Homo-oligomer: A and B are copies of this chain.
Amino acid sequence: MNKHNKPIRSGMGRSTPDRIFVQGRDLVKDVIGTLNLGDMAYLEMTGRLPDAHQSRVFNAILVTLVEHGMTPMAIATRLVYLGAPESLQAAVAAGLCGMGTTFAGTAEGAARMLHEAWEQHNGADADSLARDIVADFRAKGRSIPGVGHNLHKPQDPRTARLFEVAAQEGHAGRYVELMQAIGRHAQAAYDKPLPVNATGAIGALCCELGISWKAARGIAVIGRAVGLVGHLVEEQGNPIAREIWLRTEEEASRQDQTPADAGR
């Protein structure tokens, strides 16, 4: 007899011989031929179908996250595919493993910052919340999520476009306002260009759509999975992983090397 008897329940999907349900919707009647992939992601993550406005904003977020050129994750994916071409899925998985704090955590951080600020605002307006947030991060010596970019300055071109799309669809509310105010106050406090970057914009739009900050990293994972598959299709036609490997191996193993040189 089992001591453990918490029921195991899920509403993700179930099948009968002639029907398939996903999130309680009929896959054949309501999904295939009707939803695009971004809408399907919205359904999976929220349990609701997006309306046309939510669909455009959510798809805008997702497509922004797909492709960032030859990132460390894209290179890792190509190298792993070189070793295991029979397991394309494992090569994508390897690249996804690199979506940690260095490159991918900031949309999550921005969404959390914005969400918590409005949850505890006590009547404060966006401008004063932003001033407090910037002062707080500054006092702790921590960088503010969602502002600043080493290449895109003085403005990140994606941010203006994402906020424009959100405004067109009626989803540029108080989270967008707060994120923009944080950018202004950060710029003033540090006296250097600290534009709201794409992850700041995406964090704000996730909040506008009611998506939990805990799920924000999942949106980045979905976008990047698409991009890494794209890199593998390019790698199939124009392989570069072998060249990266051979150059690196040759340089790293030059005979003037000793373990001591390697800094340990």
| CB–CB A151/B15 < 8 A | yes
Distance from A255 Cβ to chain B, minimum over Cβ atoms (Å): 7
- A157's contact among B20, B237, B240, by CB below 8 Å, is which? B20
Task: List chain B residues, Cβ under 8 A from A252.
Answer: 8-10, 12, 69-70, 240
Please judge, given known A-B contacts A8-B252, A47-B264, A158-B32, whether A13 and B80 are in contact too, CB under 8 Å: no
CA distance A163 to B2 in the complex (A): 37
The proximity string for A residues 48-92 relative to B, scoring 1 for CB distances below 8 Å and 0 otherwise, is 000000011001101110111111111111011111111111111
Task: List chain B residues, Cβ under 8 A from A258.
Answer: 11, 24
Please name 21 pairs of A and B residues whose Cβ atoms are closer than 8 Å in the assembled complex, sorted by A.
Answer: A9-B240, A9-B252, A10-B69, A11-B234, A11-B261, A15-B151, A17-B151, A18-B152, A32-B161, A33-B60, A35-B63, A36-B37, A36-B63, A37-B66, A37-B222, A79-B98, A84-B97, A85-B100, A87-B100, A94-B98, A221-B229
Task: List chain B residues, Cβ under 8 A from A28.
Answer: 157-158, 160-161
Is A218 located at the chain interface by the 8 A CB criterion?
Answer: yes
CA distance A92 to B164 in the complex (A): 31
Task: List chain B residues, Cβ under 8 A from A102.
Answer: 82-85
Interface of A is mostly: helix
Distance from A4 Cβ to chain B, minimum over Cβ atoms (Å): 4
Is A19 located at the chain interface by the 8 A CB criterion?
Answer: yes
CA distance A255 to B64 in the complex (A): 21
Distance from A210 Cβ to chain B, minimum over Cβ atoms (Å): 12
| CB–CB A248/B80 < 8 A | no
Q: List 4 tightest A-B contacts by C-beta distance, closest first.
A: A84-B100, A44-B230, A83-B98, A11-B259
Total copies of this chain within the assembly: 4
CA distance A158 to B50 in the complex (A): 22
Please judge, given known A-B contacts A23-B259, A97-B84, A218-B233, whether A164 and B33 are in contact too, CB under 8 Å: yes
| CB–CB B232/A218 < 8 A | yes
Among A74, A84, A93, A249, find the residue whose CB has the most chain B CB atoms closer than 10 A. A84
Is A14 located at the chain interface by the 8 A CB criterion?
Answer: yes
Task: List chain B residues, Cβ under 8 A from A157.
Answer: 18-20, 27-28
Is A212 located at the chain interface by the 8 A CB criterion?
Answer: yes
Task: List chain B residues, Cβ under 8 A from A219.
Answer: 229
